[in-house]
């Protein structure tokens, strides 16, 4: 489903465009950006593969996918709500600030807060979940800053550089909703 445009104080959260794909090719092979991703250091896909991915995202009825743009028009990352389940009223959130010059400036916190608000206020969801590798201090601080609490630990759930690591599971509830 095509994702709506959302606006926060400092960012425009907009549907993917084909011109985003060249940035993804860089971010996909950036060791620092990929360090805590589930499948780090992917091969950079060819551009046709990236365009096909955009079409897949637009066709995904259970997902909303966006690029994050500054108010001056710089595209700095992506964010997604996936596995949206309308019966259970739940979804998963994931975010990548691919442009490292924007790290530590509050972008992820502002964007995650806006997507959680969209999930609760527009989609009527009850719960949003997220995962954070045990060593990913940044995303843990982002999630906790927005109001997520850790509600689980997947022990030895991933392999990183040959070592099994834990993955923290987080959730935030929509306290306004009663159904």
Ligand X SMILES: CC(C)(COP(=O)(O)OP(=O)(O)OC[C@H]1O[C@@H](n2cnc3c(N)ncnc32)[C@H](O)[C@@H]1OP(=O)(O)O)[C@@H](O)C(=O)NCCC(=O)NCCS
Which residue lies nearer to ligand X by CB, 6 or 142?
142
Q: Is 94 in the site for ligand X (CB under 6 A)?
A: yes
Residue 32 CB neighbour total at 10 angstroms? 9
> Would you tell me how many other CB atoms lie within 10 Å of the CB of residue 28?
20
142-161 residues near ligand X, rule: CB under 6 A: 142, 145
Q: Could you say whether residue 13 binds ligand X (CB under 6 A)?
A: no
CB of 133 to ligand X, least distance (A): 7
Query: Tokens 């070592």 correspond to what residue?
Result: 163
Is position 51 an interface residue for ligand X (rule: CB under 6 A)?
Answer: no
Taking the least distance from each CB to ligand X, the nearer of 2 and 164 is 164
Residue 36 structure tokens? 């805590």
Query: Contact at 8 Å (CB) between 75 and 68?
Result: yes
DSSP secondary structure letter of residue 127 = E
Q: Which residues contribute to the site for ligand X (CB under 6 A)?
A: 33, 36-37, 94-97, 103-109, 136-139, 141-142, 145
């Amino acid at each position: 489903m095509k994702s709506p445009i959302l606006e926060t104080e400092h960012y425009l959260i907009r549907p993917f465009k084909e011109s985003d794909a060249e940035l993804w090719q860089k971010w996909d092979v950036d060791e620092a950006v990929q360090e805590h991703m589930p499948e780090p250091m992917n091969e950079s896909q060819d551009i046709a593969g990236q365009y096909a991915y955009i079409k897949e995202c637009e066709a995904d009825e259970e997902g909303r996918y966006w690029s994050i743009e500054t108010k001056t028009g710089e595209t700095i990352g992506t964010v997604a709500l996936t596995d949206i389940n309308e019966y259970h009223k739940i979804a998963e959130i994931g975010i990548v600030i691919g442009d490292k010059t924007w790290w530590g400036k509050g972008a992820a916190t502002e964007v995650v807060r806006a997507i959680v608000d969209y999930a609760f206020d527009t989609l009527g969801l009850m719960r949003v979940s997220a995962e954070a590798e045990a060593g990913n201090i940044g995303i843990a601080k982002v999630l906790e800053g927005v109001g997520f609490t850790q509600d689980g630990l997947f022990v030895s759930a991933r392999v990183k550089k040959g070592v099994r690591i834990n993955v923290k599971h987080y959730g935030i509830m929509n306290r306004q909703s009663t159904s």
